Amino acid sequence: MILISGRTIEQGENLEHKMSEDYFNAVAVCELNEKDMEKLGIAPDNNVKVKTLYGEVVVKAKKGKGYPEGIAFIPMGPWANAVVSANTKGAGMPSYKGLDAVITKTDEAVLRITELFGRYKAEAWKK
């Protein structure tokens, strides 16, 4: 799958309310084309693991409108960025859009911001 990210109205409404349940529900999701969901055996509200070369993250699947087959969308935010590389290839800008990703159904839970960052903090000191 090709993974893209971007703004949504709900993401924008909670831009300055990011520790809220509304922001979590708006952003920790992955929107997919209906046919892709069938192919991957994913139902709406299933948790899915999105994995790229740079990381993996668990988010809730959502049926998206208007996506061509093969494209998955996570609204911009901490969950989308969990699988993005910090290598800016000399431009200062990371590759936020157009990542190759593998998406699978999972029983793992979607991490809250404090849990996700708790993991980052632990990993930060390993290196």
Partner 1 sequence: MTVVTDVVCPLCGSVCDDIEVEVEANKITKVIKGACAVGKSKLLGHERIKSPMIRVNGVLKECSYDEAIKKAAEILAKARRPLLYGWSSTVCEADKAGIALAEEIGGVVDNTAAVCHGPSVLAIQDVGLPVCTLGQIKNRADLIIYWGSNPANAHMNHMKRYSYISKGYFLPGGKKDKKMAVVDVRETSTSKMAELFVQVEPGKDFLLFSAVRAALMGYEDIIPAVVGGVPKEKIVTFANMIKNSRFFITFFGMGVTQSRCRQNNIVNAIQTTRAGHLHTKGTIMPMRGHYNVNGFNQVCTWETGYPYSVDFARGYAWYNPGETAATDLLGRAECDVALIIASDPASHFPADAVKHLARIPVIQIDPYENPTTEFADIVIPSAIAGIETDGSVYRMDNVPIRVRKVVDTTYMTDEKIVERLLEEVRAIKAKGGVK
Residues that bind partner 1 (CB under 8 A): 2, 4, 6-9, 12-20, 54-55, 65-68, 71, 73, 76-78, 81-98, 113-114, 117, 120-121, 123-125, 127
Structure tokens at 58: 């668990």
* Of 40 and 113, CB closest to partner 1: 113
Least CB distance from residue 90 to partner 1, whole Å?
Answer: 4
Least CB distance from residue 78 to partner 1, whole Å?
Answer: 5
Do the bridges between strand 102-106 and strand 47-52 make them parallel or antiparallel, or are there none, so unpaired?
antiparallel
Structure tokens at 117: 């960052």
Residue 21: strand pairing partners = none
Least CB distance from residue 106 to partner 1, whole Å?
Answer: 18
Tell the burial category of 28 from Cβ atoms under 10 Å away from its Cβ (0-12, 13-18, 19+).
buried
* Of 6 and 44, CB closest to partner 1: 6
Least CB distance from residue 126 to partner 1, whole Å?
Answer: 10
* Distance from chain centroid for Cα 111: 11
